[in-house]
Amino acid sequence: MQDLNKLQKAFNEKFTDTGLAKGTFSAPGRVNLIGEHTDYNEGFVLPIAIEKKIIMLGQLRRDRLVQIFDLGYKVEAKFSLDNLSPYKKDTWVNYLMGAMDEMQKAGYPLQGANLIFISDIPKGAGLSSSAALEVVTALTMAKLNSLEIEPAKMARLCQQAENNFVGVACGIMDQYVSCLGRKNYALFIDCRSNNYELIPFKNYNYQIVICNSRIQRGLVDSEYNRRREECKIAAEFFTHRLGSKIRALRDVTIEEFKRYEEHLPETIARRARHVISENYRVQTGAQALREGNFSAFGQLMIESHRSLKDDYQVSCAELDLLVDLALKQQGVLGARMTGAGFGGCTVNLIEKNYINCFKKNIKNEYKKNTGINPDIYITLPAEGAKVLEFMK
Ligand code: GLA
């Protein structure tokens, strides 16, 4: 509520009322419980939307101009919908501009708007603040322009914005869960068909706790794109050996992998082993969650981390430290890095009674080893992007 009042006040100071459609919208960040680097291999993921979000207040204009104010960082931008191309400086604008460009390219007619937003999702922490910004922009522009866009379609447009405007060849997971997350549910997504299943996650003795290493690696984008390339090479190898039934690494079984493993260059074999085994872990994990078998789920999280560290090689010393420390604490069922890697956060599954103790110990130990104060967030699965208020 406080944020809403702040936004409204700043909006009135910055912009003059156009008398046109006006509304406030929000989109959450996410944490992935399991299924890392599987989405762009047409595999499975199991994220939740988190209680941290971006709120955007917008009003339609009579012309084709877009004016944006980021209330958190106190920066602004102005551009025309007739002239959209990525910024080299002020790259934060690309998330918004990219979403608008993809909407227009998909044939949705847009009019200009005045926009202001505020975020409590930490930036560069692997909790998808960028996807949230794309999604909240797309939702705001859609509603102000009276366009009905299905959430899965909106997610796809936002993913394309990131691919084409920001230059990261990301998969669909982040934008999808930011659009379709549901309070008290984890979202099991098949990234080939885009079908999803909501798996209940509430009223249990366990809670999701996120630890932010506060490490940000510049490498993440280039390494991410390189992993994607390596997976493509692996998939092509298996198509060559096993025929056209292999369209992506998603189609290769663990047995098939083992049969051909020695013919692959070592790095490519490692990448493929991670993706193929991770897909199996997500499906097994989804079943464990359906049955409320949290200890089985926790075990899979631990295996996932090992695979990301040793085979996919996207972890870093600080994330490994957070996982090692977590696994020494009482009441912890599972811990792993989450998101693209090279810094950012870990996700932990913990018995509720032990959370305070966990927080205290992790803060002390991580600080002692690295000199950094980690941030720790406790979250339940939250609601996806939504309209907070809207006046036509
Ligand atoms: C980033 C990407 C996602 C996904 C994860 C890794 O968050 O945006 O599409 O690939 O990394 O699982």
Nearest atom in ligand 1 to the alpha carbon of residue 39 is 10
Q: Whose CA is nearest to atom 1 of ligand 1?
A: 340
- Ligand 1 pocket member 44 (CB < 6 A): no
User: Is 174 among the residues known to form the active site?
Assistant: yes
Ligand 1 site-directed mutation target among 174, 192, 225, 249, most atoms within 8 Å of CB: 174
Ligand 1 centre distance from Cα of residue 66 (Å) = 29
Distances (CA, A) of 33 to 151, 170, 201, 301: 21, 18, 11, 8
Query: Is there a contact between 282 and 47 (Cβ–Cβ < 8 Å)?
Result: no
Distances (CA, A) of 165 to 58, 118, 140, 159, 296: 22, 22, 19, 10, 40
CA angle at residue 132 from 145 to 99, to 5 degrees? 45
Ligand 1 centre distance from Cα of residue 344 (Å) = 12
Ligand 1 centre distance from Cα of residue 166 (Å) = 14
- Ligand 1 pocket member 339 (CB < 6 A): yes
Residue 222: predicted pLDDT: 87
What's the CA gap between 323 and 306, in Å, rounded? 10
Nearest atom in ligand 1 to the alpha carbon of residue 45 is 12
Token pair 């996806």 in the structure block, residue? 384
Residue 168: predicted pLDDT: 86
What's the CA gap between 71 and 84, in Å, rounded? 23
Sign of the four-CA dihedral 211, 213, 217, 219? negative
b/e burial code for range 269-307 (CB count within 10 A of at least 16 → b): bbbbbbbbbbbbbbbbbbebbeeeebebbbbbbbbbbeb
Which helix H or strand E contains 209, and what residues bound it? Answer: strand 206-216
Catalytic residue chosen out of the listed positions 3, 39, 174, 311: 174
Ligand 1 site-directed mutation target among 48, 170, 217, most atoms within 8 Å of CB: 170
Q: How many residues does the chain have?
A: 392
Q: Whose CA is nearest to atom 8 of ligand 1?
A: 170
Ligand 1 centre distance from Cα of residue 229 (Å) = 14
Q: Whose CA is nearest to atom 2 of ligand 1?
A: 170
Instruction: Report the candidate in 387, 389, 385 with the shortest Cα–Cα distance to residue 180.
Output: 385
Ligand 1 centre distance from Cα of residue 28 (Å) = 15
- Ligand 1 pocket member 173 (CB < 6 A): yes
Ligand 1 centre distance from Cα of residue 340 (Å) = 5
Q: List per-residue pLDDT tens for the chain, 392 residues long.
A: 678 899 999 999 999 999 999 999 999 999 999 999 999 999 999 999 999 999 999 999 999 999 999 999 999 999 999 999 999 999 999 999 999 999 999 999 999 999 999 999 999 899 999 999 999 999 999 999 999 999 999 999 999 999 999 888 899 999 999 999 999 999 999 999 999 999 999 767 999 999 999 998 776 788 999 999 999 999 999 999 999 999 999 999 999 999 999 999 999 999 999 999 999 999 999 999 999 999 999 999 999 999 999 999 999 999 999 999 999 999 999 999 999 999 999 999 999 999 999 999 999 999 999 999 999 999 999 999 999 999 88
Ligand 1 centre distance from Cα of residue 36 (Å) = 7
* All residues at 6 or more sequence positions from 323 whose CB lies less than 8 Å from its CB, including other chains: 305, 335, 336, 337, 346
- Ligand 1 pocket member 340 (CB < 6 A): yes
Query: Is there a contact between 201 and 184 (Cβ–Cβ < 8 Å)?
Result: yes
- Ligand 1 pocket member 43 (CB < 6 A): no
- Ligand 1 pocket member 365 (CB < 6 A): no
Nearest atom in ligand 1 to the alpha carbon of residue 172 is 9
Query: Is there a contact between 98 and 162 (Cβ–Cβ < 8 Å)?
Result: yes
